[in-house]
Chains A and B, each alone.
Chain A
Amino acid sequence: MTDTLGAGAALPGYDPNGFFCEIFGGPGGDAAPSPAIQERLKRLDVGDLTQRAQAASDELFNLGITFTVYTEREAIDRILPFDVIPRPIGAAEWAVIEAGVKQRVQALNLFLHDVYHEQKILKDGVIPKPLVLGNKNYRPQMQGLDLPHGTYVHICGVDLVRGGDGAFRVLEDNGRTPSGVSYVIENRHMMLRVFPDLARDIGLRPVDEYGARLHQALHEVAPAEIGDPQVVLLSPGVFNSAYFEHIFLAREMGVPLVEGRDLEVEDNRVYMRTTAGRAPVHAIYRRIDDDFLDPKTFRPDSMLGVPGLFEAYAKGNVTLANAVGTGVADDKAVYAYMPRVIDYYLGEEPIIQNVETHICGEAEGLRYTLDNLAELVVKPVGESGGYGILIGPQASREELEQFRAKLTADPANFISQPVVSLSVCPTLVDGRIEPRHVDLRPFCLTGRDSWVLPGGLTRVAIKRGSLVVNSSQGGGSKDTWVLTE
């Protein structure tokens, strides 16, 4: 028996390399979430584990829990690689995450309401005006619209990372159409089927409430005068790579999964085409970007949207979740200001801090960034998906100099952050258990109030040493176990 459960002492050949380990704790011997899980993990036979992992993959494929990759010739269904070793989070730690995420969402909603009404935060100079009003995700059409309960971000995914010191930090807010929650729930189903022994009596908080909670939140924000509102999920269709998630959520909520062609607007009211003719629609969980929602208001070439939808929305006859124009709040530029935004509206310290961020539009931030360019990650604001990012430690001298020139020419367009040494979690790779870097995306639902799903999407970088957890770049996922104690 091992008495001390310090890092690396636990599994033969397993060495977190000085990173914080989600199962065995920090390099300094920090408390680990669950000794019971450590014990069970040590007893596992890797051969058996590998076999069961294969069975899980097969099952995911047959169940069609897949995303679709389109080549010129055909559509190929791929599963998101699923790693069978769970990522546990202790109850005390989770309580902090839960409170921190709620605080964040509350601030985001207050911020959006303000931006689309009096704009006090801009007038008070807390955030530079052009950053918000010049942002391509700012929607002037939203100005002055009152939304039920002032909720703009009904569904929020907050990306968290844990650094070497063991503290969680926010890397990014996803306030438009955060995805991945279907994997959270399906991973759990899979886990309980394939590894009932691992999860037994461990005190695991369930995740299957999500669909009912989402439906409830959408009910709460539907137009007030409707007694029993019709909720639908609006998807771009089967060719969307996240189509499985759309299916999943519609099924969990028990609502129709519609496409733009199923809806029509007359006299500023929205209807769906049914076998009995038209039936009214009151709340739409839309998985289509603002740009494509309504060719009359936004991009006229959109084939996915519904002509007249925005006008019906503006009249308050239908609710859209998330609201139009939330992209202005999850922008990288605004992200840098989030600690100040939280303080401005709530008079509170952020419960979960941002990753240390330097705003190059401010003299101090720019000087620091230029002085430490080779150690920092510099990101252009207003872009998404990792375009135009400089990763200092990986850049050549020439690249650094080129970037320095770009940065000096337009400093307001950039923020910088240190490279975060993401925590690791034991992961099954090629028949061995090795440390791999992970992040965490909890999901928060807000109708009248906020609720955080006790779980979250743990993404894992399958490649050794890689810090990139995105599924498009070979990332996989794990079941996230929020424990009752």
Chain B
Amino acid sequence: MSQPLLARYASCIFWMARYMERAENLARLIEVNEVFARDRRGAHNWEAILRLNADWERFEKRYGAPSEETVQYFYMLDPGHSGSILSTVTMARENARTLRPFISTEMWTHLNEMYNRLRAIESGPDRLPNIADFCTKLKYGAQAHSGITEGTFYRDQGWRFYRLGKYLERADQTTRLIDVKYHALLPSPEDVGSPLDESQWNALLRSAAGYHAYRRVHPRDLTPAKVAGFMLLNAQFPRSVRYCVGECARNLSELIQLFELPRGVEARDLLDALLKRLEETDIERIIAEGLHEHMDAVQLELIEVARALGRAYFGSEE
């Protein structure tokens, strides 16, 4: 029904989308963490972000004990850290470079410019750009990428692989964002419901650009459970885990049916099962079972989905 698509291209499209989404979310994570860090447990919060991303050892090898500046550098501009924003954008750009005959010139040019601008920033742990400014620009860049892609990318298989990568990554990143709060403030009874607690949930929502949407759903109260529930289970919020998993399932179904690519059924079954659980559960139950454990489980399931996609479409042999 459509032109054949090289397996390697499909994989590059999927990863280009993932890396750009990841870069944007890293910026959100850094931004919210910076807000958190202004409280009395500041130093602790920068350690938390390392734990959250399972980067503790990698970090310690390079910098020893974490400080605010070194952790920020590590995640923003450290070219030696494959998980920094700089490295992530570099990877997105490398995939785009491979894809240049396939993607629009505007997509490539924008990503190339964004990469060149990032590369041109002279920085070190002792010389960091303004965090808020850096994160805002990065988000704008990533969103411009999304917009250019939406407006120029040809709607064949490639578009579906792009969306799959984007939403799979976003689902994963939102679970991490929710988890930051968990790590940032190990709930002690006296903190729950305190002004501090509330302001942190507030910041978390804002970092996911969800504050206003949340207010429309819950105009009167802002409780931890409701915020977590909103970010995890809301069906209309475009960064909620449920919404993202739903988008993945929808795009994969199109690949299978519209583009006659039946190899993806294994991945679709995994996505369907996850989606069904997210649709049927509620936040009280999740919190009772352990929010952090639940986020871990979702992350593992998303990894399985990515593996199944690799076997089905990208020619991965495992």
- Is A238 interfacial (CB 8 A cutoff)? yes
A54 to chain B, nearest CB (A): 16
A238 touches B108 (CB 8 A): no
**Complex Cα gap A230–B5 (Å):** 12
* A261 / chain B contacts, CB cutoff of 8 Å: 8
* B80 / chain A contacts, CB cutoff of 8 Å: none
Contact pattern, A 293-318, Cβ under 8 Å of B = 1, otherwise 0: 00000000000000000000000000
- Is B51 interfacial (CB 8 A cutoff)? no
* Residues 244 to 289 of chain A near chain B (Cβ within 8 Å): 246-248, 250-251, 255-259, 261-262, 272-277, 279
B91 to chain A, nearest CB (A): 13
Given A62-B113, A276-B260, answer yes or no on A247-B8 (Cβ-Cβ < 8 Å): no
A57 to chain B, nearest CB (A): 13
**Complex Cα gap A261–B12 (Å):** 15
B123 to chain A, nearest CB (A): 17
Q: Say whether chain B's binding surface is mostly helix, strand, loop, or mixed.
A: helix
- Is B136 interfacial (CB 8 A cutoff)? no
* B108 / chain A contacts, CB cutoff of 8 Å: 63-64
**Complex Cα gap A248–B314 (Å):** 24
Give the segment of B95-103, B143-151, B225-233 that binds chain A.
B95-103
* Residues 246 to 272 of chain B near chain A (Cβ within 8 Å): 255, 259-261, 263
B101 touches A272 (CB 8 A): no
B112 touches A274 (CB 8 A): no
**Complex Cα gap A257–B101 (Å):** 7
**Complex Cα gap A120–B108 (Å):** 52
Q: Say whether chain A's binding surface is mostly helix, strand, loop, or mixed.
A: mixed
Q: How large is the interface on A (under 10, 10 to 19, 20 to 34, 35 or more residues)?
A: 20 to 34
A68 to chain B, nearest CB (A): 10
- Is B134 interfacial (CB 8 A cutoff)? no
B116 touches A275 (CB 8 A): no
Contact pattern, B 94-120, Cβ under 8 Å of A = 1, otherwise 0: 100110111001001100110010000
A262 touches B6 (CB 8 A): yes
A64 touches B100 (CB 8 A): yes
- Is B211 interfacial (CB 8 A cutoff)? no
A272 touches B4 (CB 8 A): yes
B157 touches A275 (CB 8 A): yes
Q: How large is the interface on B (under 10, 10 to 19, 20 to 34, 35 or more residues)?
A: 20 to 34
* A276 / chain B contacts, CB cutoff of 8 Å: 4-5, 259-261, 263
A274 touches B98 (CB 8 A): no
* B109 / chain A contacts, CB cutoff of 8 Å: 62-64
* B116 / chain A contacts, CB cutoff of 8 Å: 61-62
Instruction: Choose among B9, B105, B261 the residue that contacts A256 (Cβ–Cβ < 8 A).
Output: B9
- Is B10 interfacial (CB 8 A cutoff)? yes
B5 touches A274 (CB 8 A): yes
**Complex Cα gap A275–B101 (Å):** 17
B7 touches A274 (CB 8 A): yes
Given A64-B97, A64-B112, answer yes or no on A273-B261 (Cβ-Cβ < 8 Å): no
A273 touches B97 (CB 8 A): no
**Complex Cα gap A238–B95 (Å):** 10
Given A273-B315, A275-B261, answer yes or no on A62-B112 (Cβ-Cβ < 8 Å): yes
Instruction: Choose among A262, A277, A279 the residue that contacts B8 (Cβ–Cβ < 8 A).
Output: A262
Contact pattern, A 42-65, Cβ under 8 Å of B = 1, otherwise 0: 000000000000000000011110
B97 to chain A, nearest CB (A): 6
B308 to chain A, nearest CB (A): 14
- Is B59 interfacial (CB 8 A cutoff)? no
* A262 / chain B contacts, CB cutoff of 8 Å: 6-8
* Nearest-neighbor residue (CB-CB) of A276 within chain B: B261
A258 touches B112 (CB 8 A): no
B10 to chain A, nearest CB (A): 5
**Complex Cα gap A275–B263 (Å):** 9
Given A63-B105, A64-B112, A274-B6, answer yes or no on A238-B313 (Cβ-Cβ < 8 Å): no
Q: Which of B10, B94, B98 has the most CB of A within 10 A?
A: B98
**Complex Cα gap A63–B97 (Å):** 11
**Complex Cα gap A248–B108 (Å):** 13
B100 touches A273 (CB 8 A): no
* A258 / chain B contacts, CB cutoff of 8 Å: 6
* A246 / chain B contacts, CB cutoff of 8 Å: 101
B98 touches A273 (CB 8 A): no
Instruction: Choose among B4, B105, B161 the residue that contacts A274 (Cβ–Cβ < 8 A).
Output: B4
* B94 / chain A contacts, CB cutoff of 8 Å: 238
B246 to chain A, nearest CB (A): 22
Closest 3 CB pairs of A and B: A250-B101, A274-B4, A279-B4
24 contacting pairs across A/B (C-beta < 8 A): A61-B116, A62-B112, A62-B113, A63-B108, A63-B109, A64-B100, A238-B97, A247-B100, A247-B101, A256-B101, A257-B101, A261-B8, A262-B6, A262-B7, A262-B8, A272-B6, A273-B6, A274-B4, A274-B5, A275-B259, A275-B314, A276-B4, A276-B261, A276-B263
